[in-house]
Structure 1
Amino acid sequence: MAQGQAQAQVQVQGRARRQGAARWLRSVWLQDTALAVAAVIPELFYFGTLIAPWADWQQRMWMLLLALAEVLALVVRRRRPLAVFATVWVIAVTSDLLSWANTIDYTPCFGLLIALYTVAAQYRRPVALGVLVASLIPMGMAIAETIGDYEGPRTTPVLVANIAFYAPVTLVVWGFARWSLATRTEAERHRQEVAEARLRVTQERVRIARELHDIVANAVAVIVMRAETARATALEDPACSEAFAHIEDLGRSTMAELRHMLRLLRGSDAATEDGYSHGLGDLEQLLADVRKAGVRIALEIRGTPLRVDDSVGQTAYRLVQEAATNITKHAGPGTRAVVRITWDRALLIEVVDDGAGRPPDGEREEGRELSTGHGLLGLRERVALYGGLLSAAPYGPGFRVAAALPVSTAAGPAPVPR
């Protein structure tokens, strides 16, 4: 036991050391120091005479001091971009002046380019253009100092070669910095737009939830209470009492679903479920309620039921619910209907009625008043969301609603719906 605890402690300590090392390697200070050293060391050999045989120890000391000052400045370039640029610029100009005076032979360039990039990538265009123009001064001094070592016909080729080196490199560094700033600005603007859109969506969902609660929930609650009162006073008529009991049950069920929807609307993620959902296993109970309204509706299942996602099962339930509700409202009692569930490569759902119980014109107008006119539209959007297809059209004297939803056979057969 003690040995196991010791091994576990060693593993924890080792993991902590590795995490600390990873944080140290990701340190901004370490990255900037490494970049500064990687830029200044080549300068000493490419733009200076640190190891030249004719350079004395004083010249080497001057070059090392200037290079060290440049490294120390570049280490803090992200915190003080303008101050670092000014420091590196002064070091570059000082080196060029000392080279003109033949004190040393050192014309640094890379450190100045890094400082130029840092400022151009963080500041607005006027400041970026200002540091670009300022960078051309030590660049021009370096070119002039180099040309001074040549005379006669060799002057022009050396001038062209130096301009062809310094000018493109400086402009490319400056342009890349501006492009980097524009990319970051666009990404930040996009993030802000997304955040604002999410905020607007959340506010709209809260407003819809409030409206649903204030209008629909209160109305349904009144219906349930009135149904309870009417059922209590209609005990002498069993049929009437049963009808009011059915209204009461439907009202309570509607209130439960409405509370669930309000929780989803007020939540941070509308797709989050809390375990309350209907599926294919609840179809028989749904159709039993429809039969109480006088519609003779049957359920037929063909093929071997498969497991489907909860969202797909709930979509299938809503489809049958909407179709059955439309039959009840628009066709009325006495209508014959059938719900066919076919398991194949896709989940095929078909709800067909014969239209035989179509109510008179007065009741038909009442059915239109009870309809919101958005049921099939919302159902079509819900089915399309999961890659399915929906059709709804007259079918002889009646109406037919059919849909195909995708299924996954990886999980194997599912229990037969109750």
Structure 2
Amino acid sequence: MREHPIYDWLRRRPYVLDVGIAGALALWGFGIGSVLGSFLVGVGFIGLFSIPLIFRRTYPIASFTAISLACAVQLIVVDTWIPLDVGFLLSLYAVSAYATKQWARIGALVVGGLGAILGSIDWLGTTGSFLFSVGIMGALVAFSWTLGDLLRTRRAYVGELEERARRLEIERDQQAQIARAAERARIARELHDVVAHSLSVVIAQADGGLYAGSSDPGAARESLATIGATGRQALTEMRRLLGVLRNDGDSTVLAPQPSLGQVEELVGNLRGGGLAVSLEITGTPRPLPSGAELAAYRIVQEALTNTLKHAGPGAKAFVTLAYEPALLRVSVRDDGRGAAAANDGRGQGILGMRERVALYNGTFTAGPRAGGGFQVVAELSLLSLPAGGEKS
């Protein structure tokens, strides 16, 4: 709801309202000099009751104390109520609404109740109207204090809501940052798999083509063709991955993500690069969630890339995809040098494969085989994933 311009202006300048209230009270009590019998005494009372009201928000305890002392002086000097007594109710409201100390708020209520009793005694004595006067003034004191306490409670509630909204905004921004970081990590992992595999194939083909170039031009041309096809495939996948980072609204057509149906093509390309690879599929192949298929494909790709880089010449690789009711087991092993191969310490392949398997509550092992070679085994749990869906 839109606030009224005058209310909004006063809300942002509370001191103007307080000065106005103090001025209005001073004008209302301007004629009490005749009641008190002295103009100077009247002006003094006006100052004692009105000036502290200017500071009722910033110094509520001091303001209430000053006006309470003025009321005590009134009980001594005057035997009747005066219009300036309204200032006591205003200061009581202020200390209840703005004082941060609980003892000050409770003490102000007690002082108000005591003032109602002493004022009634001073003005009416102990006549029949005494109890009526105490009841009326006590009700005014209770009403003023309660109204201020309600305002303080509402202000605290609104402040808590604003703080909660601020925290939610911060949490939303943090979640967005975490999501962006996770997406960047995913893209980095995908790029690592694509680039590492493609460059390994390109290097192997280039070395083979260079070796066979002088004696077998046909083999060299075949190596060059494989290099070109591998490079184009890598470029297509890199464009697909980097396309998600674009924010210019282009309707770029992205190639589909690799799936287990392309494992045979992957194995064929590596065979063409000189790596002896066999593929075995057990169980009944069935449609799987696209994320699970991509994870399985990348595991095979990364494991064969490591074989190509580290297994050494003459090594053989064996890929097994085992479809079971509750899981998909992916096994890639070789009979090469395996863990004995040199390592530059910069590879992220094993870590990336482990992270992919963790997304599907699976298990992952990688290490040397008994008798030589290296083995990667990943089991992707498929119990909670409907065919063709994504993990939620």
TM-score by length of 2: 0.56
3-state SS of 1:254 partner: helix
**2:320 equivalent to 1:339:** yes
Following the alignment from structure 1 to structure 2, what is the Cα–Cα distance between the partners of residues 345 and 157?
A: 80
CA-to-partner distance for each residue in 1:291-324, whole Å, 9 max, x for gaps?
Answer: 333233213141351341x222212211121122
Contact 1:338 1:351 in 2 (8 A): yes
Determine if the alignment matches structure 1 residue 356 to structure 2 residue 335.
yes
Identity %: 26
* Aligned residue among 348, 356, 370 for 1:396: 370
Cα distance in 1 between the residues matched to 2:14 and 2:56? 14
* C-alpha spacing 1:374/1:360, structure 2 compared with 1 (3 Å): closer
Contact 1:350–1:402 (8 Å) recurs in 2: yes
Distance across 1 between alignment mates of 2:352 and 2:136 = 76
Change (3 A) 1:244 1:265: same
CA positional deviation for 1:183: 4.4
Distance 2:263 2:351 in 1: 21
Paired residue secondary structure (1:306): coil
Of 287, 305, 310, the match for 2:267: 287
Structure 1 segment 31-180 matched on structure 2, within 5 A: 76-78=6-8, 80-82=10-12, 86=16, 90=20, 129-130=57-58, 140-141=88-89, 147=116, 151=124, 152=126, 154=131, 161-180=139-158
What displacement does 1:381 show?
2.0
Distance 1:303 1:266 in 2: 39
* Equivalent-residue separation in structure 2 for 1:132 and 1:172 (angstroms): 16
> Which amino acid is the alignment partner of residue 375 of structure 1?
G
Deviates more, 1:76-85 or 1:398-407: 76-85
CA RMSD of aligned residues (A): 5.3
Bigger Rg, structure 1 or 2: 2
| 8 Å CA contact retained: 1:345, 1:406 | yes
Using the alignment, how far apart are the partners of 1:307 and 1:196 within structure 2?
33
Number of the residue aligned with 1:319 = 299
The residue identity in structure 2 corresponding to 1:356 is: D
Gaps of 5+ in 2: 32-54, 68-85, 93-111
Q: Distance in 1 between matches of 2:325 and 2:358?
A: 19
After TM superposition, give the deviation of residue 278 of structure 1 in Å.
Answer: 0.9
- Amino acid in the other structure paired with 1:341: A
> What residue in structure 1 maps to residue 351 of structure 2?
377
Q: Distance in 2 between matches of 1:304 and 1:276?
A: 20
Counting matched residue pairs gives 298
Residues 331-362 of structure 1: per-residue CA shift (max 9 Å, x gap) = 3433241322314233x122142x4233897x
Work out whether 1:406 is the aligned partner of 2:387: no
- Measured against aligned partners, the alpha-carbon deviations of 1:4-50 in whole angstroms (never above 9, x if no partner) come to xxxxxxxxxxxxxxxxxxxxxxxx24xx5xxxxxxxxxxxxxxxxxx
For the 8 Å contact 1:227–1:244, the answer to whether it is kept is: yes
Distance of aligned partners of 1:236 and 1:399 in 2 relative to their CA distance in 1, 3 Å threshold: closer
Picking from 198, 215, 222, the partner of 1:242 is 222
* CA–CA distance in structure 2, aligned partners of residues 339 and 78 of structure 1: 73
**CA–CA separation in structure 1 for the residues paired with 2:283 and 2:56:** 72
Task: Identify if the C-alpha distance between structure 1 residues 128 and 94 changes in structure 2 by more than 3 Å, giving closer, same or farther.
Answer: closer
Q: Work out whether residues 295 and 328 of structure 1, in 8 Å CA contact, stay in contact via their aligned partners in 2.
A: no
Cα separation, 2, equivalents of 1:377 and 1:169: 64
Amino acid across the alignment from 1:381: E
Return 5+ residue gaps in structure 1 as ranges.
Answer: 1-27, 33-73, 102-126, 414-418
Instruction: Determine the structure 2 residue equivalent to 1:15.
Output: none
For the residue of structure 1 that corresponds to 2:12, the secondary structure is helix
